[in-house]
Amino acid sequence: MRVVRFGIVGAGTIAQRGILPHLSQDDVQDRVVLAAVCDPVPGRAEAAARRFGIPYPTTDYEDLLANGDVDAVSIASPIGLHFAQGKLALEAGKHVHFNKTMTTTAAEATELIDLAAARDLRIVASPGEILRPQVQAVKRAIAAGAIGTPTWAIAGAAFGTYHLNEKERQGDGAQSAIDPSWYFRKPGGGPLYDMTVYALHGLTTVLGPARRVTAISGVRIPEREFNGARVPTDADDNTGILIDFGDGLFAVAYGAAAGGINYWFSGTYFGTGGTIAGFDLNGTPLDYPEKAVADEVGGGVAGAQATLPHVVGPHREIEEAHVFEDIMQLADWVRDGKASPVTAEHARHVIEIIEAAYRASETGQTQILTTTFR
């Protein structure tokens, strides 16, 4: 397959500021094209289609699968819809990119993995933190003994008011007033599925699969406000997780209503001989082959994005470059047959950590994990 025809499922914030601008750039048209877009809000898909030159807009997802002339879909809808939509896509013979998180339970993830295998289809499940040269540099440094014997780590993320204040949600019209309420509702709401998932992918990339989980969790901010309306919090928004990696090595992960101690979603790793905080070893930036590229764009988040394999040229100026990278991982896999390191099995393991954390909090019992990844 020379060009992969994509259907975009959901024309909300992530699609508007990231997926659609990236995939409409001239430099990727030899590999991917935007063939269709759907969104249930009347007028939103049509507006996106006009803006980005997409030939088939629709309000109906099954219509997109049946009539949108697509080879693959990127599912950018609320997380609680991902399993059902992913299953429909696989049953229709489409390859699938899942924006984080693929599903809300490990059992759902397994069902999708098995279905894809049976249909000889590909799944790439964001977030692809394993692709980041900085994360791999942390992994190599720890393996080489740069911090002595690693003892523990901490990583996580916080909601704050991020989703309430996103620029795509301000104003009027089909392209603007995008309701964020689902971020605070079950299933799929809360900072663990939406944000801490990045930190968990980073932790497990560096330290490997986890073995056991315990946690405390609850709702700290029972109500928020958006556009003058009340937004009740149904999904837990304040969770602390203790993760056992075996042999006395553990990590703390958090998905908080507010506040954090980490740089971006990166972790802090402590050992008997030093500390890696973010991408610094004992206060000195880690060296890695792509560091010159990161430094060229100013380091920090921009540098972490610019060092991803497909993030070149105009893509360095567009938001959500990591999502674009994951989509291109799927496109390359479909076109060339070379499997991506961003696997559904890794995503399933992280999902099980989240699911087990909620169960541990509810029952007061440590949960033994059953999934793993390579």
Q: For 226-237, write each residue's pLDDT tens digit.
A: 988 999 999 999
Q: Which two tokens stand for residue 32?
A: 């991917």
373 within 8 A of 346, measured Cβ to Cβ: yes
3-state DSSP percent of the chain in helix, strand and coil, to 5: 40, 20, 35
- Mean pLDDT lowest for which of 34-43, 161-170, 278-287? 161-170
Name the residue among 369, 358, 318 with its Cα closest to residue 25. 318
Secondary structure (3-state) at 242: strand
Name the residue among 12, 59, 13, 51 with its Cα closest to residue 34. 51
What is the amino acid identity at position 253?
A
95 within 8 A of 330, measured Cβ to Cβ: yes
Please state, in angstroms and rounded to a whole number, the distance separating the CA atoms of residues 242 and 21.
Answer: 38
Q: What are phi and psi of 343, to 5 degrees?
A: -105, 155
| pLDDT of the residue at 192 | 98
How many CA atoms, within 13 angstroms, populate the side-chain half-sphere of residue 32? 29
7 within 8 A of 38, measured Cβ to Cβ: yes
- Cut 0.95: pTM above it: yes
**Across 14-18, average pLDDT:** 96
Check pLDDT > 80 for residue 175. Answer: no
Domain ranges of the chain: 4-128+324-343, 131-305+349-368
**Across 261-277, average pLDDT:** 92
| pLDDT of the residue at 170 | 81
Q: pLDDT tens digits for 133-143?
A: 999 999 999 99
Q: pLDDT tens digits for 276-335?
A: 999 999 999 999 999 999 999 999 889 999 999 999 999 999 999 999 999 999 999 999
If one compares 128 and 176, the residue with the highest pLDDT of the two is 128
Q: In CATH, what number does 131-305+349-368 get?
A: 3.30.360.10
Please state, in angstroms and rounded to a whole number, the distance separating the CA atoms of residues 300 and 294.
Answer: 8
Please state, in angstroms and rounded to a whole number, the distance separating the CA atoms of residues 244 and 261.
Answer: 21
How many CA atoms, within 13 angstroms, populate the side-chain half-sphere of residue 97? 34
Predicted confidence band at 126 (pLDDT cuts at 50, 70, 90)?
A: very high
Pairing of the two strands 268-271 and 56-58:
unpaired
Check pLDDT > 80 for residue 156. Answer: yes
- Helix (H) / strand (E) containing 6: strand 4-9
Check pLDDT > 70 for residue 174. Answer: no
Please state, in angstroms and rounded to a whole number, the distance separating the CA atoms of residues 55 and 41.
Answer: 18
Q: In CATH, what number does 4-128+324-343 get?
A: 3.40.50.720
| pLDDT of the residue at 168 | 85
